[in-house]
């Protein structure tokens, strides 16, 4: 029996995992679609590649010929254009239909169309839209990476980039002064971390330097 399998991906910093799950759930409820295991499989991983545990499990162990894979947007599947198109070709070759909620043409079951000319036209439009959206997804991530590189170079030029390749939020001397409160037992590490607005990795990087006598 053919099954509908839903998948949603966000980056580790994205806070919209629930929104994507809700969007798929609402669509399925409105169209009387029962999802496999009554769930949406998710990964909180980068979209630059497909090295994601739940996605690979779906592809290798769950999806079979005749099944349908549902995603909200094409970039929730992947952000690398060529890699994403390669995945879509894999599904087409294995007779697995991919429905992308943001692309209405993918929601039409073309196999049920009796008019071959109309079906061919819809397939052409569908392929063009998928290529366009895949290009947009890759362009967006390339733009983001470019901004990050420019930001890093600007910080380095201003001398604000630390020895560990991350921007320092305060000088080592400033941290040492505050950290004495922890050494004296007057504050807990997590309390000082919160007061100084430091991330856990940054806090412990400073702490390790103090303990090594840097």
For the segment 151-180, what is each residue's pLDDT rounded down to a tens digit? 777 777 766 665 445 555 677 778 888 888
Instruction: Quick: pLDDT tens for 115-137.
Output: 888 778 888 888 888 888 888 88
More confident residue, 104 or 15: 104
Domain final position from 137, 158, 189: 137
Domain shared by 179 and 85, yes or no: no
The answer as to whether 147 is a domain residue is: no
Q: Tokens 């061919």 map to which residue?
A: 120
Q: In this predicted structure, what is the pLDDT of residue 194?
A: 78
Angle, CA of 116, 119 and 123, to the nearest 5°: 140
Angle, CA of 109, 113 and 118, to the nearest 5°: 110
Q: Give kind and range of the element (H or E) at residue 159.
A: none
Lowest mean pLDDT among 93-102, 147-156, 185-194: 147-156
How long is the chain?
214
Region of 91 (left: φ > 0; alpha: ψ -120 to 50; beta: rest) is alpha
Domain shared by 14 and 88, yes or no: yes
Range of the domain at 8: 4-137
Q: Residue 44 belongs to a domain with what CATH number?
A: 3.40.50.1390
Domain shared by 103 and 205, yes or no: no
pTM of the model: 0.67
């Amino acid at each position: 029996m053919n099954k509908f399998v839903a998948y949603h991906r966000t980056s580790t910093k994205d806070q919209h995992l629930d929104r994507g799950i809700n969007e798929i759930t609402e669509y399925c409820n409105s169209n009387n679609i029962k999802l496999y295991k009554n769930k949406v499989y998710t990964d909180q991983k980068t979209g630059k590649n497909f090295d994601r545990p739940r996605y690979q499990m779906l592809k290798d162990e769950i999806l079979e010929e005749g099944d349908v894979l549902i995603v909200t947007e094409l970039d929730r599947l992947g952000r690398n254009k060529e890699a994403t198109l390669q995945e879509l070709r894999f599904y087409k070759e294995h007779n697995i239909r991919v429905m992308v909620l943001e692309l209405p043409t993918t929601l039409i079951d073309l196999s049920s169309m009796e008019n071959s000319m109309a079906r061919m036209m819809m397939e052409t439009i569908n392929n063009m839209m998928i290529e366009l959206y895949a290009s947009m997804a890759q362009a967006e991530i390339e733009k983001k990476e470019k901004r990050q590189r420019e930001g890093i170079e600007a910080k380095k030029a201003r001398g604000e980039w630390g020895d560990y390749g991350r921007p320092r939020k305060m000088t080592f001397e400033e941290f040492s002064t505050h950290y004495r409160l922890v050494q004296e037992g007057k504050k807990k590490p997590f309390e000082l971390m919160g007061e100084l607005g430091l991330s856990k990795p940054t806090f412990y990087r400073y702490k390790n330097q103090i303990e090594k006598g840097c």
